[in-house]
Each structure stands twice: as structure tokens, then as C-alpha cells.
Amino acid sequence: MNTWDVVIVGAGAAGLFCAGVAGQRGLKVLLIDHSEKIAEKIRISGGGRCNFTNRLLDASAPQKHFISQNPHFCRSALSRYTPQDFIDLVQKHGIAFHEKHKGQLFCDHSAEDIIRMLLAECQAGGVEIRSGCSVRNVRHHTEGSPHYSLDTDQGPVLTTSLVVATGGLSIPKIGASDWGYRLASQFGLRLVERRPGLVPLTFDGAAWAPYAELAGLALPVGIETGDKKTRMHFDEDLLFTHRGLSGPGVLQISSYWQEGTPIRLNLAPTLNLPERLQEAKLRSKKLLGNELASLVPSRLADAWVSQDPALQRTAAEVPDKALSKLAEALSNWCLTPTGSEGYKKAEVTLGGVDTRDLSSQTMASKQPGLYFIGEVVDVTGWLGGYNFQWAWASGHACAMALCGAEIAPAHLPNG
């Protein structure tokens, strides 16, 4: 019978990192993953260059960058393992990286650099990794020394501590699974409803037809959703697709968008459109469409002008009312998505194991010896490296707890 101090199920970012830290601190660690090829989500992230953390993360106020029923839950782990801590590790391994936009750090060469680093850390800790190995059953035994027994494709396994790092439901083609949620339910832990996050939004019907032709057009926008109390706003790029809207701005807002509610777009966020259009009316003999194309992308200008005959004339001839209506439509475009592209294109899964049943300090659940880390937990970060930092921080908090390391009380908020 294989007996281990710790068995970690899920060899993604959180699982690999937790295994390496725990192994190097003297624990006998087994890391299991049902996929033959581990760390696929790291491999495809950031366009293949892995946006591995974000310098702008504020561990003292994580609710700024994280979504959860208890946004403060992640503060303890994030304040004890910071972006700089992970940057130090990346530099120790000689991985070249750069800052791209709003604190986002990417590998210069490839996401494979991060995977090799994590595997090297596991090797340094004597971690055994079994890929292509599914776990069929998990039982908790309380007789004698409490322990877990796992029935796996590669034989039975015993452990005193079981860590679940199986991620969410996003991108099923690379092996996403609901195993972690099912295990949480098996042991009586509560779950927060799951839905796709950081996902393109879709639109159907005749109302979208004029904009479907804009597929491939990208531009900076202001985008928001919610009412006065729940309003969220991002200034990011937008991308038109054949089925709807994508790009960083839409991915960000999708995590806050509620089905059946509108989003609002400012397609010219740096301009005072009413003023600029009135100026054009006073001085220009050109068609309004040509004037508008000097303010916003020409394809966008054409799409709007083609919908209203009153706009298909020289700027001087367009009625003031039509100009005002156009400026309002472009600077406060209100539209209601019919849905999203779903888990197949979502970068993350919102919801998960309820943080009320977990320790914010150790990631231990109320079920003795059972831990949950990374995306399987109801903690979801913004686009831009925040979810990877949660993987590193939650994995580190768990590993330190497994090793019996003391946690400095000054770093422990309530919750």
C-alpha cells in the first residue's frame, strides 16, 4: 500500500506549487492528475507566454481584484505570499519576463518556462507525480490514526492529508472536471453556484446584425454593468466577434454581468463626442461618416451611419437632434447580451467551494485533513495574472499549514 504524508489531486498551477513547497519542507508528497499532459492551462495561458502574476495586486484590499461571496477570504494567503515572492522565484530560475499592461507580467519566451520551474521545484522536494491517473473513490477512515484512502487507476493510496487542486469547469477540452466539487459535496461542504467567468459575451437576432460585420475590430472602450450599488467599470480594449463581443474589457465585465441585464459601452472614452460632432457641423463640408471616421474606427463609423438616413449627408446638413442621438449612442451604448460563450471559452469558473467551510489561513476545510486550493475555491481574480497569484498564494498557505509552520498573527484578518 502506498502511504504518503500528503496527496494532492490536480497538477495545475496551485497543485504543482503546493507540492513543491510541501516536498521541500520535508513532507512525502504524491501529486496526481487525471490528464496525461499536466499543466495544460498554464501552457495555453497568456497567449502561450503565461501572465504569471500582477504587480498591482493589493493584498490589503483583495476585494479590488477578486470576486467571492467573501472577498476578504483571500487576504490572508495573498498577504503572506505576494507577487514579489513569486517574481523572486522566477528570477531564481533565470526566467526572462516583461511587464505588458497594468502590472501584468509575462514570460519573454514561453509558458513552458513556468511549467519547467514548477516541475524543478517538485523534483527538489522529491515529489512523485502520477499523470493519466484518475481517482475513483475517496474514503475517510477515523479508526486508529485518521487518514484517507484513494482508489486510483495506478493502485490504492493512503494519506493523512488530502489537497484538492482540481480547478474549475473552464476549457473542458484540456481536461476540466467537476471532481473537486463532487468531493466537497461528498464530505458535506457547501458550494457556491458555478458559472463561466472571464468569458466572451454573445448577442442574437436582427438587432445584432449591423455589428456582426465588425468582427475583428478592436478598440479601447469604457465598459460597465450593474446598478448604482453594484456598478463595475473597466477601461480596456473591446473586440467585436461574429457572435458578439470579446477582448479584455468584455472578459473583465463578464465576471460581474448578470444574465438578462445590460452592459454599457463608451466607444470613444477619450473624446467629448457631442462637442466634436458639433464642431464638425460648423466647419465641415464632408459627409458626416467621413468626419466620424476621424474620431472612431471607420468600420464603426460606417456601421452607425448606415442605420440612420438622417446621418447619410454632409456634417453641416445633419440635424442637431440626430447628432446628439449619435453621440449618445456611441458614448453610452446600452445593450443586453443573450448569453456567453460558456465554459468552452471561459478562462475561469466563478463560484466553487464555499469559503465559509474553509480556513483563510490554511485552506483546510471543516472536514479534518481535507484542503482546497486554487480555482476550485470560490475566489476568482480579474484578468491579468490575479488568478495565477491566487493559485500560488493559496497553494503556499496550504503547504505551510501541512508542514506545521506557524502563521504570523499580524497577517491574519478575520474571515
Q: Are residues 267 and 369 in the same domain?
A: no
Sign for the pseudo-dihedral over CA of 378, 382, 388, 390: negative
CATH code (residue 311): 2.40.30.10
CATH classification at residue 58:
3.50.50.60
Residue 412: burial class (beta carbons within 10 Å; 0-12, 13-18, 19+): middle
Residue 363 CA from chain centroid, whole number? 19
336 with 359, same domain: the answer is no
Going residue by residue through the chain (415 aa), what tens digit of pLDDT does each one get? 589 999 999 999 999 999 999 999 999 999 999 999 999 999 999 999 999 999 999 988 988 999 999 999 999 999 999 999 999 999 999 999 999 989 999 999 999 999 999 999 999 999 999 999 999 999 999 998 999 999 999 999 999 999 999 999 999 999 999 999 999 999 999 999 999 999 999 999 888 988 999 999 999 999 999 998 999 999 999 999 999 999 999 999 999 999 999 999 999 999 999 999 999 999 999 999 999 999 999 999 999 999 999 999 999 999 999 999 999 999 999 999 999 999 999 999 999 999 999 999 999 999 999 999 999 999 999 999 999 999 999 999 999 999 997 544 333 333 3
Write out the residue range of the structural domain in which residue 16 sits: 2-195+348-411
| Plot region of 9 (φ>0 → left; ψ -120 to 50 → alpha; else → beta) | beta
Last residue of a domain, one of 341, 365, 397: 341
What's the total number of domains in the chain?
2
Are 310 and 252 members of one domain?
yes
* pTM, to two decimals: 0.95
Taking a C-beta distance cutoff of 8 angstroms, is the pair 355, 69 a contact? yes
Q: Can you say whether residue 283 is alpha, beta or left, with left for phi > 0 and alpha for psi between -120 and 50 degrees?
A: alpha
| Residue 271: how many other CB atoms lie within 10 Å | 16
Do both 31 and 143 map to the same domain? yes
All three cell numbers of 149, joined, read 484512502
